[in-house]
Structures are given as structure tokens and as C-alpha cells.
Structure 1
Amino acid sequence: MKNNTEELYQWGEDMLTFHLPRWHELPSIDLYMDQLISLIERYLAPLSIPDEKIITPAMVNNYVKMKLIPSPQKKRYNRVHLAYLIVISTFKQVFSLSDIKTAITMQTVVMSEKDSYNLFCEEQEQALQMMLSLILKGGALNSIDPVVMSAIPMKFAALAFANKVLVQKVIHIQPENEIK
């Protein structure tokens, strides 16, 4: 159990410095599909499970068809596509694509895509740091007690569910005309 605790603690310490690229840090040149996929995987690798695909060309094509992201120009993708795909790739692990589309639309109605994306990055990093501080500084990993370690998934799964319920409620109470 001690090795698992140490591994989780090290991951947590590493994640405290996790940084999502802000709008101005995203490439300003157009990218081909393979470059786009490679960048997203690199940016989101610390958040993913090893050997699990974060995004594929088929997913990107489906997001275009579903109008979650704009169509590429001459098979090339720009900063806007990259930002949308980072948000979608992160949120799809928790929410339906329909809810993600609504949430993105709600946000981009009140602020620019650039500001919306930067806000997403800030909020995601703060949420990770808050969660990690509960584990690292709260002492959960200072104990090798199996009961304490086994409670971590349940505690944070319950928090994740509670947050999901709140987000879905806010999304679904918005009048249609406010988000179109």
C-alpha cells in the first residue's frame, strides 16, 4: 500500500504545477489533423489514464458534424478549434456532448471565445489544486491506513457527482433564447 500512496502523492505533487495553455500560448499557425491530435494529447496527458485515447480524428470529425466546433478551413485547424477541443476533451469525461455544447454557448454569449477559454483554464487548474490540497495537505496520504486510502475514490466521486448535478441543473434551466 505504501508504494500506491507514494505514487499518488507524487502524482498529486506533480499536478500542483499542471498548466493548461492559455489562448496566447496556443499555436497561431494552422494545423493539420495529426498535429492537432498530437498537441491535445500532449496538453491533456497529465489528466488522462495511460493508454487511453483522449481524442481521435473520428471524434474531431464528429464534433464538426455536430457543430460543437467550427468546420476546418482547407483541412486545417486553428487556435479556436484547439481551444474548443481542449474544453470538449476535458468535459466529455463528465458531461454529455449536448450539455457541453450548451455550456460553451452559454459562456461564449457573455464573453469572447478567448476569454471563455482562458477562464476555463483558470477554473480547471484551481479545481485541481483545490482537490489536491484536500488530499496532500489534508493528511489523507500521510496515513497508510487502507480504510483512509479506500475512502478517497468514494469521497471525490461523490463531490464530482454533486458538481455534475449542479452544472446540469444550471444548463437546463436556462431559457433557450438566452443561449442562442
Structure 2
Amino acid sequence: MLKEDNEKMFKLIEEVSNYEDIKISDIPCVDLYMDQVTTFFDEKLKNLKRDNDEKILTKTMINNYAKAKLLLPVKGKKYSKDQMVLLALIYNLKQTLSINDTGLVLAPIIKKLSSSKESQILEEIYNTFLDINKVQMEEFNQWFKNKIELVNKKSLEIESNDEDLVQHILTVLMLTSSANMQKRMAEKIIDDYFKQVKEE
């Protein structure tokens, strides 16, 4: 890629990593009605939208999660702090995993919360996830820069009049290949651990 194309790629990665996760302290202490829940997520995660019309969470999505038992039962049509945290986790998981796999991952936490054995576990897991995510984002920036150098080098081996097109295709293929490997690894862990937990 030309120097200006590289700079454009680096600017894109800044856009990808320049967003704030929903923190526990962002979630209101009072229970929220459905409209307030969807507005909250739409406002807090608006930087993750590809276009302005996209909805982060809709009423239908949330109702489907409730039916699939990905949430604690709703009391009086209001959503608690724990349910909001679960929705934040569901949003992250559903970008990669199926609803069924998401349910398998969250089921043990929901079980613990329902029995009130470990009431703090959800917040502790979520806060730790945010810490890990921050580190991963910093590592991804460097990883991506290294991979762009590799793509640039390998693309020179392809004879083409449209070098820019070749490099962009290779970049997308490289990113999706990496995402697919990570998805398969997550699915292997779900199959190896979470499916057994469900059967116990």
C-alpha cells in the first residue's frame, strides 16, 4: 500500500479501537423500562454502529433473549442492573457466537445469580472482561500494523494493475481468517466445557 493508504488504515484502526465500553458505573442504579434500556444502549454504543439507522438492541431482540433464558426473569416490566450487564455481555458475544452458544456461556452465571450464591460474580466477571478488552485493543493495534506490513510485502508477489484492490482484498481476508480462527477456538471451548456443565 502507498504511504497515504497505510495512514488511512491506521486511522481506521483508531476508529475501531476508539470507543468506550459500558462500565458498571454507567448503568443507572434504578431499574429501567424497555424503552429506557434500548435508548441507553443506543446512546452508549453509538460509535459501534456502521450507519445511523442501525439499532444496537431492539425490543424484539431483548424479548428473544428473555425467551431463550439469556436473562434473569424480568420483574414488573423493569430491567435491573444485573440484566443490563447481561445485555452488555450478550451484545459482545452475539457479534461472534450463535444465540445457543451465548446461552451455554451465560447459563452458569444466571444459575448462580438466581440462587443468590454469588451475587457479585456477574459484576466481577464483567469488570475483568473490560480490563482484558482494553489490553487486547492495544495489542490489536500493533498486531494489525505488523499484518499490514506482511500484506504489503506478499501483495507484491501478485501481478496486477490494481495493486490497491489486491492489498485491500488481502487485508479483509487476513482479518476474517483471524476472526474465524478465534471463533472456532471459542466454539471448541464451549463444546469442551460449557456443554458438559449444562449436562451436569
Read off the aligned partner of 2:173 and give its amino acid letter: M
Aligned equivalents of 2:33, 2:182: Cα separation in 1: 35
User: With structure 2 as the length reference, what TM-score do the two structures score?
Assistant: 0.73
Query: Which residue of the partner structure matches residue 72 of structure 1?
Result: 74
Matched length:
177
Q: For residue 59 of structure 2, what is the aligned residue in structure 1?
A: 57
Q: Tell me the equivalent position of 1:129.
A: 138
TM-score by length of 1: 0.80
User: Counterpart amino acid of 2:183?
Assistant: K
Q: Percent identity?
A: 23
1:57-106: CA deviations, max 9, x gaps? 01111111111011222111121111111111222121111111112235
Question: 1:163 and 2:165 equivalent?
Answer: no
Work out which of the residue numbers 114, 122, 125 in structure 2 matches 1:116: 125
Provide the residue aligned with 1:88 in structure 2. Answer: 90
Partner of 2:148: 140
Counterpart mapping for 1:40-55 below 5 A: 40-50=41-51, 51-55=53-57
CA distance in 1: counterparts of 2:85 and 2:174, whole angstroms: 31
Instruction: Tell me the distance in 2 between the aligned counterparts of 1:95 and 1:117.
Output: 18
**CA 72–34 in structure 1, closer or farther in 2 if over 3 Å, else same:** same
Which residue identity is paired with 1:37? Answer: T
Aligned to 1:9: 10
Does the Cα contact within 8 Å between 1:41 and 1:55 map onto a contact in 2?
yes
Aligned-partner Cα distance in 2 for 1:129–1:62: 34
CA distance in 2, matches of 1:84, 1:118: 12
CA contact (8 A) 1:140 1:149 kept: no
Task: Show structure 1 runs of 5+ residues with no match.
Answer: none
Secondary structure at 1:174 match in 2: helix
User: RMSD value over aligned CA atoms?
Assistant: 2.9
Q: Which has the higher contact order (CA 8 A, sep 6+)?
A: 1
Which residue is 1:103 aligned to? 105
Residue 30 of structure 2: aligned partner: 29
Gaps of 5+ in 2: 113-117, 153-162
Query: Using a 3 Å threshold, how does the CA distance of structure 1 residues 13 and 32 change in structure 2: closer, same or farther?
Result: same
Letter in 1 for 2:29: S
